[in-house]
Structure 1
């Protein structure tokens, strides 16, 4: 289980890393990240009675909808790809490889790092393209969902395939694979793709 008290970046910078905002911001914090070929990201989402969909799902038995758990996967996996892009560009620019959580955090919070990651964020467009996940347990108000994403592979057409798993404590809530489509914003119009920024 990840350390929920640590965060890769403070809330003000975290909002700049993703383009999601309430009520569809489904990641509260990045609590673990490992760059590199076998890299992964771990995020958390606190499920509360204040979620706008909880009163209707269901009035007498509130629980987190599966589609929202899939959205956690979609957002978490995009954070993984963004952070991997950042680490590669940081190394190319500075000559210093970022190998640990604390190193990445420190680089992101520098003026140069913040400027670089925001530039990368604005250069990417994409969408959650597909999902193949199974649901094993329920997530209820009061639970904290811990989502871990690993990149399985990326193809030449811009599709990124991720292995994903969500847990509440020791219980696996959902696991499987999702696919994100992501592409450089300058290339997308030439391919006839007009997607909103991820």
Structure 2
């Protein structure tokens, strides 16, 4: 399911953490989301439980473009946040899957919920044809919650950045 990227040596002689890459098919096994709400196409440089990067290719065929400024297609900010949150879920689930003794059962059942969005700034419009590069860095655990720093860019231009609080488990 995963494609491991060989660890590299840092200048100080320490080994960098092992990173993983996940295809869209891998992500469908990791997350409970499905079309039209699956907002991440692939993930890479994933350090399980720590950080990761992802890609969302924005197509004119996205269903939200039909009603969100139909004569001037703009990806809604809430969908950008959702894509970043889904990358967070991939980083979190990767920790369960890549553990020395991987968790059994459906990993998508461990995906929690978005608890809060704070200090989110949108600095560039995202339009069809853009490719969003997503970044997530998991922060401190606060009981059943976890803080996360997220960013989304198009090329070298920042599109959105802020902080999320996510639940670390889903309640049935």
The alignment yields a C-alpha RMSD, in angstroms, of: 2.0
Query: C-alpha displacement at 1:117, in angstroms?
Result: 5.8
* 1:12 counterpart (25, 31, 34): 25
* More strand as a share of residues: 2
CA separation in 2, counterparts of 1:19 and 1:169? 29
CA separation in 2, counterparts of 1:9 and 1:135? 27
Structure-2 change in CA distance of 1:11 and 1:78 (3 Å) = closer
Query: C-alpha displacement at 1:74, in angstroms?
Result: 1.2
Aligned position for 2:142: 155
Gaps of 5+ in 1: 1-6, 94-115, 189-193
Structure-2 change in CA distance of 1:138 and 1:163 (3 Å) = same
Gaps of 5+ in 2: 1-19
CA separation in 1, counterparts of 2:39 and 2:153? 15
* 2:122 counterpart (131, 135, 152): 135
Q: How many residue pairs were aligned?
A: 152
CA separation in 2, counterparts of 1:57 and 1:117? 40
CA separation in 2, counterparts of 1:122 and 1:80? 12
What do the CA deviations read for 1:69-106 (whole angstroms, capped 9, x no partner)? Answer: 1101111111111112333x32xx3xxxxxxxxxxxxx
* 1:172 counterpart (151, 158, 165): 158
The SS at the match of 1:53 is helix
TM-score, length-scaled by structure 2 = 0.80
Native 8 Å contact 2:93 2:108 kept in 1: no
What do the CA deviations read for 1:15-65 (whole angstroms, capped 9, x no partner)? Answer: 1111110000000101221246xx311010011110001121112110100
CA separation in 2, counterparts of 1:176 and 1:86? 27
The SS at the match of 1:176 is strand
CA separation in 1, counterparts of 2:37 and 2:60? 15
